[in-house]
Every structure is written in structure tokens, then in C-alpha cells.
Structure 1
Amino acid sequence: MWDPDRTVDWIAEATVERAVPILVGTALVTVLFAGGVGLVDQEAGTDQFTEEVPAQAALEEIDEEFEGSVGDSETTAQLFIESDNVVSRPALIRLLETQRRLEADGTLRVSETTSHADRIATELDDNAETAADRKRAIEDATDRELSAAIAAVDDSDTFETQLSTDYNPTTQWASTARVTVEYDVPESVQTSRLQTLQADSAAVIDETPRNDIGDNAYLFGEGILQTEITALLTDTAIVVFPAALGLILLFLLVAYRDPIDLFLGLSALLLTLVWTFGFMGYASIPFSDAIVSVFPLLLAVGIDFGIHAINRYREARLDEIPVDEAMAGSMAQLGTAFLLVTMTTIGSFVANLTSPLGSLRDFGIVAAVGMTFTFVIFAIYLPAAKVTADRLRGRLPIPEFGTTPIVSEGSRLARGLSGGVSIARTAPVAFLLLVVLTAGVAGAYGSGVDTEFSEEAFFPSETWIDRYDRLLEPFAPSTYTFLDTIDILETEFDESTSGGVTIYIDQPVRRDHSLERIDRIGRDPPASFEQSAPGEAETESILTVIERERAADRTFDRLVERRDRLGTDVPDRDLETVYDAVEASRPTETRRYLSANRESARVDIAVDPDAETPTVVEDAQFIADRTPLSAVATGDRVVQQEVINATLDSAIRSLVVAFLLTTVVLLVSYRLLEGQASYGLVNLVPVLVTVGLLLASMRFLGIPLTPINAPILSISIGLGVDYTVHFVHRFVDEFENRELFAALSATVTSAGGALTGSMVTTVSGIGVLAVALIPLIQEFGILIALGVGYAYLTSLLVTPSVIVVWDRWRTSSG
């Protein structure tokens, strides 16, 4: 049978004997992975979490098949212009001059721009085809002519959508105008190309007289949005990474107390990051918001491994054991703990492969591979590097600095860490009952944690931006115009980012009964939908366009009447003729609700603004299911709710899988290593307490489950196991030659010191994410810091009592 101890001993001896070849091999592998670092792409925003959501797929089909409202297409941008009165002559001239410059610059690939100024100008002069012609028409018109032209067009739906909701037709006044900017590029154009075009467009707009981008002019499009969201990640990294590195460096210096050991520990951490980034590049996994959290986790485990390795080696050297022997013996002991931690932590990461969200599966893959690299680097490279450095120290006049373990027996810190042993000595059963009760209550309370997903969750608050603005270069943040634009959309144009819902009809609508069935979609609506009349939902569809044209054109009205056999005011035969006629008169409106090939259609349904999103989505799916048409409920609300449901499902599923995998690995490993599978159960009790406390903290602090922090529950198992495995494994070694409480005290003195150094370094270094610009990353930093803190406390306070109760049970039963 395979003997893990023998394997670990062989690796430890080989590492010492072949230290220099290992360092050379590490350098070559690092060069290989460094080549992949440059291949890593960035991915930001909500798109990374919606790729496999059915409602999102339907939404993308709608974008491709229909001419949506302003901004629906990725190749369309919206320009918002603010003025004292955007319907005044100077403002109209300013708008048309801006449009002229955008259309005239061939490098921008702008095919067309439209605004309310165009409608007014063409009312004044039918032959005004270009922006320059329309500008002249406005300039040449008298005040009376201009006012009459505005009055003639201000009752059209299109005109109203191009002006803010405060538009007053009597005084002909509005505060904000919207200009549509169409780019002559394919829908499949790369985001980077779109970002460049829209950034250049913003520069042209800013150069136009009386325009000031970010002050009274705002360009909003997919390219701008992606650019600024990516800038959020960059600005966060510029501030957070140096702060985290500084804190990690400070506490590692305190833990190692030796510049050479500090350098070796930092080099191992750097190698972990380079190897993991390189793997991502070669595997074509983008660096996204979800992946950001992998690297703090790897740093947390790497810091822990490094401190334990150096600390155990120093313990061995206290007895003046030779360098090679001391390192081989230390790693033979620690290697097993490292292997256990690695296997269980990989299990907690791999559990995320069960997630329905692709971004979380990517997280699981990268984290598992990164954890494997961490084990290889800290179990093989670091010992080899340390042995090589100390061999040179023995030959060269290199001074020694800190060479003692973090905690020595009888020190104040050792006594401070012995609280758990004291409790285990006096009342272990009562304490465990209290702990289990507390964990159960915490878990029950934490089970009510909210789940959240929205674009706004990725956006910083104004408070944090103001704080970052006080920083000097290069730490000062970029300018984020999309925040102002979203505010304009919601306040000036009454367009919430959540909006209503859309029923996407994914089948041909040319058959005689098609429009009758579309009409019935809005009948007897659920309470969460607005009603235009009793029993009728407020809907917009191709039927709405037909009704408008019937009211405006008597000839068309008669055409429809002749094709309404049932007398329901809904045409039910020869629909192609009806479609051709209405599209000839209202092409834009028709193409909004009916695809060009008549193979699909859409129905927009207004939603009660006070209705809860889960209720709205449930009702929308009910409507889609009850219609005999092939229909899918979609819209931003539906997509968000589906991601929320998938996130909750992912969190629960990965937690269960991680716990089961961890349990199996621990039971099997301790059975093979120590002949006592029950040691694995000893490890699990503190871990469950950690999970319960972390869940309760999330709810208490108001931190919801999101696609970014969804893995935190499974991760907390990996973090908890990291600390308890070190404690239990060291106890098993000490218990072979000491009685129970003497072994516990020795464990606290040795392993407790390394755990303390690791905890302080990790919590301070990763906890600095709490000052990140992006709220989701802030929350993740807080959760990781809490998870590590709880894992540390439970390992030192709870594990001794678990061991004592376990020993009593073992003695009484055997």
C-alpha cells in the first residue's frame, strides 16, 4: 500500500540533496510561465457572469434581430448634452456642430448621429440632409419660424425620448438632450476597437465649443463603460496592491526577522503569482473581477506555508543540527501538513466547478491550479533556496539576523496563546457545547443573508471616489463619467437600469393566429405588472405600432379591418400584407418589435415600480410559460435574478461539495498517515464553526452573496482546514512522545507562533482590500480577513477542547 509519509520523506531528502538543480529548474519554469503573463486579457463588468444565463442569450438575440431603443446596440453610443435650455437656438447650434464634427471625422467611423435638433431643422428645411445643412437652417430661421418648427415636432414619440422628462412644450424648455451616435462597425467588433473609437469621439466632443466632457457633456456606450470599469480595477490595484505589499512586507519582516529569509519568502510568493498568471494566459482565462480574489487567497496560503517552513527549520537548528539534516527533517514533518492543506484546499476550490456560472468555474480552475503551484513552490523551491542560502552563509562572512522561532516556550506570547489549552483542561465538554450552540445559532442567522447582482454593485460610491481624489499622482483615480450618465438616465430620462420585462417570441409570427396569441400575452396580468385597463397589462408590441398607424391612417385602418375576421381589432389573416404596410409607414417602430424576416417578435411589459424583482421575474416567466408561443422572459431584471439564483445555488452547492471532499480527504489521509481516521473529524469541528461565524458576519454587516464572493463559503472551509491541519498534525507528532496536555502546550508554542504570524500578515495584507474602489472587492477583502481571523481563533481556542473530548472518547471506547 502507498505510504504518504515515505513519499514526503523522499521529497524532503531529494529537495535538500538536489537544491541547486531545483533552483535552476524553477528559473526555467518561471521563464516559461512568464511568457503566458502577457497573454492574459482583462474582463470587467457584469458580462462575465451572464454569459450562460438563458435570459441573457434571449437579450442578445433581441439586440441582433430588432432595432432597439437608443443604446441597445453595442455599436451605438448616447451623448447627453446639458444646457440652460437645450431647445434654445444656441443649444441647437451647439448640438448640430457637435454632430457635424463627429460625422466629419472619418477615423471615428461614425455613420450617423440623430437628435431633436435634426427634427427641428428638417421641419424648417426639408432639403437639410447633413448636419452642416441643418445647422444653417437653425441659424437662418427667425424666432417665430423656430418656435413654430419646435411646436410642429414636439408631439412625436421620438422627439420626447430625445429630451429630458422636464421638457415643457409650452415654454419650449428642457435641461438635457440626448444624441444617438451610430458607429459603422460590425456588431462583432472587438471591445478594444470600440473603446478606442468612443474614447476618440469623446475627445472630439470635448473640443467642440461650449462642450466639456464630464461637466456638461457625457458620452455613454459599451466602449466607454468597459474602459471605465477596467480603469476601476486599475485604480484599485494602484492603491491597494502597494498598500497590501507594504503591510505584508512589514509583518513578514517581523515574522522572519532576517532580510535573506524575507527575500526568499517574497520570491516564493512572486513565483506563485507569475506561474498562476502564466497558466491563465496559456489557458485563455481572462483576469476578471471573479479571478481577482484568487490571488489574495494564494498569498494567504503562501504566507502561511512560508512562515511554517522557516519557523520549523529554525526550531530544528536550535539543537545545532546541520543545515541539510535540519531542513530534511523539518520538511518531512511539514510536508505532510502542506500536502493535506493543499488537497483539502484544492477540494474547496474545485467545488466551484459545480457552479452554473462560467466565471465561478474559471475561479475554481485557476484557484486549484494556483494552489498546486503554491504547494510545489513552498514545499520544494523554498526549502531548496533556504538550504542553498544557509550553505553560502556557512562559507561566506554573511551576518546572521533572526534565527529563532517566532514563539519560544515560556514567553508571553506562548502564555497568551495557551487560552484554548486552559479551557480544554478545565471544561472542554461545556465549552464545546457552547461553541456548537453558538455556531448553530450563527449559521441559522446567517442563512438569511441576502443575494445580490446588478451593474451598480461594480460601481464605486461617490464617497470612495472623493477619498481617492485626495490622493496624489499616480494614486489619484481616473474620471468616471458613466456614474453621472447613469444618474442622468435615471433622473432626467426616467430610465431605470432595471426597467420592465420583455417576452421574446422565438418562432415565426406569420401564421394567421400569431397576432391573436401575442395580444393574449397581456391578458389577466399578474399584480406586479402595470395595467392600461382592467385585465390588460400595459404592453408595447407590433400590435401597438399597428394601432398607432390605424389611428393616423384611415387607408391602413380599412386594410386591417378587412383582415380581422373575428372582430377583435386584431388582424388574423394575411398578416404579411399588414406587416408590409405598417413597416412602410413606421419602419423604425416596426423593426423594434418585429424582426426583418418575421421569424421572431418581442413584447415589452411595463412593471409596477414598487414590485419586488423576484416577484416580477416569477410573473414574467409565468406569462412566457402560459402562452402557446415559443417564448422566453428576458430583460435586465430577469437576467439579474437568474444570476442571483445561480449565485445562491452555486454557493450552497460548492459549500456542500467542498465539505464532503474535505471530509473524505481528511479521513482517508489520516487513516493512511496515522492509522486514525478520527483525526480528520477533529479537524472538521473548528472549520464548521468558522463557516457559521462567517455567514452570520455577512448578514450582520449587510454584505450580500454576489457572484464575486459566492465561493467564500467553500473557501472558508479551505482556510479553516489550513489552520487546523497545522495544529492537529503538529499535535499528532508531539502526542507520540508526550502526554495529552503537554503535547497540546508544545503544539501551541510551536505551531501557534507560526499561525499567529501567518494570521497577522494575511489579515493585514488582504484586509486592505476593504479600501478598494469597487464595492464587491471591498467586501471580499473584509470576508477573507474575517475568514482567516475566525480560522485562526477556532484552531487555537476550539481545537484543544475537541482533542481532549476525542481522547476521552477514544480511551473509553478502546
Structure 2
Amino acid sequence: MGRIDDTIDRIAAIVTAHNRLVLLVMLVATAGVLMGIPQIEAEQEEAFGDELETQTEVGEAAEYVDDNYADEDDEPTATSNVYVRDDTGNALSQAALLEALEYQQEVTESDAVADSLEEDGVVGPPNAIAMQLAGDPDADVDEQIEALEAADDDEVAAVVERTFTGGEATQAFLPASYESGTAEAESFRMQFEFEVDEAPENQLASPPEDAQRTLFEAAEERDDPDVFTLGEFAQEPWIEQQQSDTVWLILPPALVLVLAVLAFAYRDVVDVLIGFVGVVVSVLWMFGILGWLGIPAGMTIIIGPVLIVALSIDFGLHVFMRYREHRGPEDGIREAMSRSTGSVAVAFLLVALTAAIGFLSNLTSPLSMIRELGIGITLGVLSAFVIFVTLVPALKIGADGLLERFGFDRRKTALGKGRYLRPVLSSGVHVARRAAPVVVVVALVAGTAGGLAYADIDRQGFQQDIEVADWKTELPGPMAWEAADTEYQQNLAYEQEQYQGDHEFTSSTRFLVDGDPTDPETLEAVADGHAAADDSDVTYSQGGEVAVLSPLSVMAETAATDEEFAEVYHGADTTGDGVPNQDVDEVYDALFDAAPEQAEQVIERTDDGEYRTLLVHVPVQQGLDVGEQGDAMHDIADEMEDGSAASVTPVGVATLNNAELAVLADDIMETMLIALAGVLVALAAIYRFERDSALLGALTVVPIALVVGLVIGSMSLFGVPLTFVTALLMSITIGLGIDYNIHVSDRFAQALERGADPATALYTAVTGTGGALLGSALTSGAAFATLLLHPGPQIRSFGAIVVLALALSFLLSVFVLPSLLYLWATRVAEWDAAESHETRPSVADND
């Protein structure tokens, strides 16, 4: 017996001999730890974009565009949009425009809005039309209302027709369904511009909260025409409904499945209750320690409890099942619990140490929320270890002692020792005795093949294309998914379908054309970009036209109003297709003379007059899946590069997210592999110290490495993309899987030390420990499987990966690991293989 075993046995003896004192100490400790929960910081202090410094081609192009094209605003501002929609009439009618101006009058009289509103900070169709009717571009809202009231319908229609004939104002304030130059539209939007103290880097600033509340509440009072906002106050009912839908859709089936599996595994209500106490206390300890240490909880609030619950259920099953194995007909409660706790606590300690290595490897991440998640889960794992070697055994002793005094027999059969499960679990041992090399080779080939599929997995920034199946909305009572029917969700869907984003970064993708701008072929590439944008399904069109901003569009617009430039422009276009094919540098010179502000938006010119790059702005639809949008933008770039010497890089929300977060996902996967290497070294060292075999520790890690490969292969096979979230969740769930292998290998080593031959030792380990592993896998898998009901793709991917990893971890621990252990024992540890083959194990080791 090793030195760690001796120490653990002494601790187990103290816990079981003084269980009441242990309960008192743990009660006081828990009360102290819980005092840290109110001190938890739930939010991240830094913005996501501020921390993500991943260098990609798209990211470098974005920096270049910002440095050489972007206008620097002196003061940061924030925009709040207010929409006016008239489904039965015309939102550009005199009555609807008056309603909008009266809304503006009401909200601007409020201090909450007026105190932070920019000068001339309200713009929209009502203002543009009323100012023209008033004949004064500086008319205030009262004068605008007066002018609009004095006009008749025909005057208003005439002003609308000549105001919105295309261009920036039409695109910014009117929906995609609007036909330029007409007097009717189903809706329009107004923009309120607010001063803010500072704008976070790489994020859009938010208007003041009081101002948003005022805009929302005033809009709620108007329904003819309908006035609505999409800020945080409009969003609140949708968030509440979504949370309620998630709870009612996921929780009932999850509870039913978990309780059914636990009832099957424990077949005892008392053990279920004690196990749940340990689970709850473990989670509370995690959050309490986070609070005391001042570590922001962040993602730990969401992911931490799920993982710690799964691990705690596993610990509980091992505690109770090993206790049932060790309590024979003549054994007392304390003696059996002392032996069983000492037996499983070594494996618990190894699980805690290896899990800590895996989770703490995330400290290398550039994102604080990932680093904090790694710390939080590590604290949860360590908490579970302490709880399940102290509090839970002490509670079990007290409960069983009390019940037996009232005449209840507390001796139960361990899961895996029954006549139905025993043959199934032991089949891995029988296969190991007869064909261990074959099993190992097949597993290695399958795991390696799966790992090679890593290069083919689709990379995405994140998944956001939520689709709710009809049957989910038709479920009875509160289980029906109703979030999609909320007023906010319907308004959001309409806004995303009909309007561009209200910020350059979100409303369009910028294509950096890096080549010789004076080469006619480069301008031909720009023309190809126009054509590709017109044909794309993800670009934003208004009245059937995609308003691409480029050197060619600026040239055409300038030529329409400037005769001198038009002469140079048309003279350089000998083919008449609108693309200059000679003297391009002279065309640029003339354009900068005629329209310098417009030209510098799309053409980079140095101080000495050299032309370096071009920029093309392509409007994109809102609300699309970022993977779909990013792929479409890269397709347009490919069309532009085809036949041209220029290099074209698309820079937008989708392409930046996909590029940077995909690289981050790869980094997380690399970190996981490094963590596996660290776990291998740690287990090899511990097993060398405790079991006199570093190789045994290394072999324990092999199945979990194969799980990684098989999960990767399954993701490729079933089309689950590698995203920032799925990579993180996969790395975390692997930390749970190592638990299964440690329990089997450590139980096997213990049986060998007590004199059993390899086959008998394997039989003891797999049928004894395997039963608890099966219960753990079924319980955790059942809980996570219910996440597949959620309409959110990120949540479904989370559930799928966890279930897959847990199932594979269990299967490999009881059907592949025994072959590895058998080969080690018979080929390396020099056990007598012939004698082992003659042994027919039929009973487990009950020491």
C-alpha cells in the first residue's frame, strides 16, 4: 500500500469514527463559506474585444482600414432607434409623420432625454420632410409640427418623393420594401443621438438608461401607428419569457430522467437525498470561495454548476456503491464506510488533481472569462472532493445508524453486481483476456482517424440561427416555447429583415483591395464586387438595389453633378461600361479635386499623392447566421480576386468573429492537448510514487485521448461546428471523462496489491467501479441530453458534446481500458498470463 493510501485511510478512519464532530465542523465551515456568495462579482470588468488580441488576416486588414480610412469622432455618442410602423396605411402619411413628431416632442421635454441628447440629435423622415415644408433647416420640433399641420397630403407626398430617391438617407431611415422616389412606406425609423462619457473599444456605446426607459415608455403608449423601440427595456419581457421557456422545456424532462436513473442506480431514497445534499453543498462552496477570493464568476455561473453537479453525482455514486460492496453481513456501518471511503478517496484525489491541471490550463487564455472559468471549476472540483470524503460519509453513517436502530436493513447491492449488469460490464474483461491487442489497435485507429478529421471541421465564431420547431410551440401549458411570439421578438425580426444596422461596422462589410489602384484590372475587380453583391443572398437591398459604396459608385455620382470631372471620367472609360480602363491615376486626381471627402472614404492616398489601396462597402442584412454571412462575404472577395492581381480581404462583424474566434477555438483545443500532456505527466509521476509504475498512470490517460479524437470525428460526421463555445465545452467535459479511467485503473491497482491476478483484478474493478460509472454516465448524460430540446444551437451543441464525451468516456473505460491494463499487467508487470487465462473470476474483491 502506498503512502497516499495510508494517509487517506487515516483520514477516512477519523471521519467515520467521529462523524458527529465532522458534521459540526463541516456545518460551521459551510456557513462561513456561504458568506462569500453575496460578494460574488458576476460581470466581466473588461470588454471581450479589448482582450481578444488574436492576429488574423482579417484582423490585420481591419486595423489597416481603421488607421487609413476611418473618421475619428471627437466625442463618443450612442444611438437609440425608434421605429414607426403602419401595417394598414402609409407610415409617410401626414397623420403618421405628425404622430412621430409629437412623440419626439414628448420625449425631448423629459429631462432624462434632454440632458444627454446631442444638439440636433433627433433625425428621421418626419424631421427631413417637416423642415422642408417649414423652409427652415434649423426649425425646432414645434415649428416642424406647425409646418406639417399646415400642409396637405399632396404637398407632403411631393416632398417625400423628392427627398427619398436613394442614397444614404433613404437607406438609413426607410425599410428594404420602400421603392425609392415614392410617397409610401410601411415604416420608418428615427434616430436619437446621445452624448456618453466613453465608448468601449470594439463595442457600440449604449445610450443612458433613463433615456432608454423614457423612449420605451412613451412608445408603449402609441399604437396608431405603432411606435416601438428595441432597447434593453423592450427586451426585458422577451428575456424573462425565454428564461421561463427554457426552465419549463428543459427542467421537467431533465428531473424525470435524472430521478429515474438515480432511482435505478441507488434504489434507495435516503441515499438519493444524501447524495443531493453533497451536490448542492459542493456548488455552494464553489461560489462561496469565488466570492471570498474576489474572483468574478462570469461564465462560471452558467457552466460551473452543470459540471460540478455531474462530477458530484459521480462522486456520490462511487461513495455509496463502494460502501455497499464493502459492507458484508457481519460488518458494521463505520468499519465498512471507513474502508470504502479510504478506497475511493485516492481516486477522488487523483480526479481532483488531474481535473485541476486540465481546467487551470485555461489560465493561458487571453480572455479573462475563460481564465476565471478555469479557476471557478477547479475550486468546484476541490470542493466536491472535500465534501464527498467528509460530509457525505458522515451523513451516511448517521442516517444508516438511525434507520437501523428502527429496524430498517441498510445493506444494499451495489450497481454492477446484479445478475443483469454484471455480464455486460464484465464483457470488457473477457474480451481483454482473449483479444486485448486487437481491441487496443482498433481503438487507436478509430481515435486517430477521428482526430485527423479536425482539419475538416467547420469553424464558426458562434452559432446564432435559432429555429423553433412547431411542436415545441404546441406543447401543453407552460412547457410551450412562447418567446418567439413576444412583441419584442416579432419587432426584432421585422427590424432585422427590413433595416440595415445603424452603425458602419454592423451595417456593411468593407472589402480592402490591396493591389495597384491605378491598374485598370483593379477597378475591374471592384466592378466584379458590385456584380457579386447584387447576386448575393445576404446583402441588403432596398427597392431591389444593393447600394455598394466604392470608387466606381463615387465616380458615377460625382460625374452626374460635376461636368469637369465627368469629362475626365468618361474620357478614361473607352468601353463605356463605367469602369475607367486608362489614365486611372488622372481620374483619381480629378475625383479628389471634385469630391475629396467622398473620395477619401474609398481610396487611400498618401501625403505625397501615391495611391495605395481601395475600399468597397457592401451592405449586409441583419440577423443572419454569422457563419453564413461570413462565407458569403468571402465568396464576394473570391469573385473580386479572380482574374486580378489584387488581394481582397472582407472586414465585417461576421468575418472578424469567424476569423478571430475560430483561431481562439483552435487555441483552446491546443491548450486542451497540452493539458492532457500535463495530466499524463502528473498521473505517471503519482502512479510511480504510489503504485511503482509510471506506465500505469500513462495508460490511464490513453482512453481519454482517444475520446478527444472520437468526439472530433463525431463533430465532423454530424456537422457540429467548432466554435469558441463548443471548443471550450469540449475541453471542460474531457475533464469529467478522465474521472472514469482513474476509478477503473486505481481500483485495478488496489486489487493487484491485495494479491489478485490481472483477470480477477480487472473483474473486480470493472464490475464494482463500472456500476457506479454507468450510473454516473446515465445520470449526467440524461440531464445533458435534455439540452437538445433547446432551440438555441449553442445550447444544443453544448448538450450534444457533453453527452457524446461522457458516453465515449464510459465505454472506453470499461471496454478498452481493461485491455490496456491487461496488457500492462501480463506483458510489462510480468504476471503469469497462462495462469490468468485459467482463472474464471466470478466474485468481486470485497476487501
TM-score calculated relative to the size of structure 1? 0.80
Alignment partners' CA distance in 1, 2:550 and 2:144:
33
Distance 1:688 1:156, change over 3 A: closer
Letter paired with 2:106 = R
- Report if the CA contact (8 A) 1:540-1:605 is conserved: yes
1:427 to 435, 460, 464: 435
Which residue in 1 is equivalent to 2:412? 404
Quote the residue 2:222 is aligned against: 208
Quick check: 2:216–2:233 contact (8 Å CA) kept in 1?
no
Read off the aligned partner of 2:19 and give its amino acid letter: A
Deviations 1:564-597 (A, max 9, x none): xx9846679xx9xx99x989xx9xx999999xxx
Deviation at 1:33, TM superposition (A): 3.8
Could you say which residue in structure 2 is the equivalent of 1:561? none
Residue 705 (structure 1) aligned with residue 722 (structure 2): yes
8 Å contact from structure 2 (residues 174, 189) kept in 1:
yes
Question: Equivalent residue for 2:841?
Answer: none
1:384 to 1:283, Cα distance in 2 relative to 1, 3 A:
same
The equivalent position to 1:764 in structure 2, one of 774, 778, 782, is 782
SS at match of 1:472: helix
Q: CA deviation at 1:490?
A: 4.8
Query: How far off is 1:290 after superposition?
Result: 7.3
Equivalent pair of 1:349/1:368 in contact (CA under 8 Å): yes
Aligned twin of 1:96:
101
Superposition map of 1:508-547 within 5 A: 524=522, 531=529
Larger CA deviation: 201-210 vs 81-90:
81-90
Determine which of 243, 246, 254 is the counterpart of 2:264. Answer: 254
- Is contact 1:443-1:693 (8 Å) kept? yes
What is the CA–CA distance in structure 2 between the aligned matches of 1:197 and 1:243, rounded to whole Å?
A: 42
Q: State whether structure 2 residue 167 is matched by structure 1 residue 167.
A: no
Query: How many angstroms does 1:236 deviate by?
Result: 2.6
- CA-CA distance at 1:171 after TM superposition: 4.0
Deviations 1:279-319 (A, max 9, x none): 44455655556762332221111111011011111222224
CA offsets 1:747-805 (integer angstroms, 9 cap, x no match): 23211211111111111122222223432122101211111111111111112222222
Give the Å deviation of 1:663.
0.6
Q: Distance in 2 between matches of 1:364 and 1:4?
A: 26
State which drifts further: 733-742 or 180-189: 180-189
Distance 2:377 2:688 in 1: 27
**Which residue type is aligned with residue 821 of structure 2?**
I
Which string of whole-angstrom CA distances, capped at 9 and with x for unpartnered residues, describes residues 459-478 of structure 1?
Answer: 63243795388542898548
2:81 equivalent in structure 1: 77
Q: Distance in 1 between matches of 2:470 and 2:505?
A: 22
Query: Does residue 1:387 correspond to 2:397, yes or no?
Result: yes
In structure 1, what is the Cα distance between the partners aligned to 2:531 and 2:713?
Answer: 46
| CA displacement 1:107-133 (0-9 Å, x = unmatched) | 456734321121111111135834444
SS across alignment from 1:182: strand
Aligned to 1:597: none
User: Matches of residues 98-497 of structure 1 in structure 2 within 5 Å?
Assistant: 98-107=103-112, 111=117, 112-127=121-136, 129-155=139-165, 157-161=167-171, 162-169=173-180, 171-183=182-194, 185-187=196-198, 194=208, 197-212=211-226, 217-221=227-231, 232=242, 235-237=245-247, 239-241=249-251, 243-282=253-292, 288=298, 292-393=302-403, 397-398=405-406, 400=408, 403-407=411-415, 409=417, 411-454=419-462, 457-458=463-464, 460-463=466-469, 467=473, 471-472=477-478, 477=483, 483-484=489-490, 487-493=493-499
- Structure 1 unaligned regions, length at least 5: 505-515, 558-565, 595-601
Shift of 1:451: 1.7
**1:740 pairs with 758, 780, 784, which one?**
758
Contact kept in structure 1, 2:688 and 2:694, CA below 8 Å: yes
The answer to whether the aligner puts 1:805 opposite 2:823 as a matched pair is yes
Contact 2:79 / 2:206 at 8 angstroms: preserved in 1?
no
The Cα offsets for residues 370-412 of structure 1, whole Å up to 9 and x where unpaired, read as: 2111211222221222233334445xx5463663133364612
1:449 shift after superposition: 1.6
What amino acid does structure 2 have at the position aligned with 1:612?
D
Q: Which amino acid aligns with 2:162?
A: A
Change (3 A) 1:317 1:811: closer
Judged with a 3 Å threshold, the aligned counterparts in structure 2 of structure 1 residues 759 and 663 are, in CA distance, closer, same or farther, namely same
Q: In the aligned structure 1, how far is the partner of 2:49 from the partner of 2:238?
A: 18
CA gap 1:61/1:414 in 2 versus in 1, 3 angstroms: same
SS in 2 for 1:307: helix
Summarize the Cα distance change of 1:524–1:4 in structure 2 as closer, same or farther, 3 Å threshold: farther
Number of aligned residue pairs: give it. Answer: 767
Report the Cα distance in structure 2 between the residues aligned to 1:528 and 1:541, rounded to whole angstroms: 7
1:237 to partner: Cα distance: 4.4
Kindly provide the CA deviation profile for residues 194-224 of structure 1, in whole angstroms up to 9, marking residues without a partner as x. 5665355333212113255xxxx54234775
Alignment of 1:785-804 (within 5 A): 785-804=803-822
For 2:618 and 2:257, the matched residues in 1 are separated by 49
- Shift of the 282–582 alpha-carbon distance from structure 1 to 2, 3 Å rule, reads farther
Q: Is the Cα–Cα contact under 8 Å of residues 461 and 724 in structure 2 kept in the other structure?
A: yes
Segment drifting more, 385-394 vs 662-671: 385-394
Aligned 8 A contact 2:78 2:207 in 1 = no
Q: CA deviation at 1:145?
A: 1.7
**CA gap 1:490/1:194 in 2 versus in 1, 3 angstroms:** same
- 2-structure distance, mates of 1:432, 1:616: 44
- Could you tell which deviates more after superposition, 342-351 or 225-234? 225-234
Q: Which moved more, 1:311-320 or 1:369-378?
A: 311-320
Shift of 1:703: 1.4
Residue 183 of structure 1: CA displacement?
3.9
Name the TM-score, length of structure 2 as normaliser: 0.77
Kept in 1: contact 2:98–2:148 (CA 8 A) = yes
1:379 and 1:464 map into 2 onto residues whose CA distance is 48
Corresponding residue for 2:840? none
Gaps of 5+ in 2: 533-546, 567-583, 605-612, 621-628, 833-847
Are residues 1:680 and 2:697 paired? Answer: yes
Contact 2:400 2:410 in 1 (8 A): no
Q: 1:598 — aligned with what?
A: none
**2:147 match: secondary structure:** helix
Aligned to 2:616: 605
Distance 1:665 1:464, change over 3 A: farther
Contact 1:528 / 1:619 at 8 angstroms: preserved in 2? no
| Cα distance in 1, alignment partners of residues 41 and 484 from structure 2 | 21
Q: Which residue of 2 aligns with 1:730?
A: 747
1:34 maps to 2:51: no
CA distance in 1 between partners of 2:673 and 2:309 (Å): 25
CA contact (8 A) 1:311 1:754 kept: yes
Calculate the aligned-residue CA RMSD, in Å.
4.9
1:715 and 2:744 correspond:
no
Task: Tell me if the contact between 2:825 and 2:831 (Cα under 8 Å) persists in the aligned partners.
Answer: no
Secondary structure, in 3 states, of the residue corresponding to 2:188? Answer: strand
Q: CA deviation at 1:722?
A: 0.8
SS class of match (2:191): strand
Question: Contact (CA 8 Å) 1:424, 1:800: kept in 2 or not?
Answer: yes
Q: Output the CA distance in 1 between the equivalents of 2:13 and 2:637.
A: 62
CA distance in 2, matches of 1:441, 1:684: 18
Q: Does the aligned pair in 2 maintain the 1:240–1:768 contact within 8 Å? A: yes
Find the residue that maps to 2:466 and give its secondary structure. Answer: coil
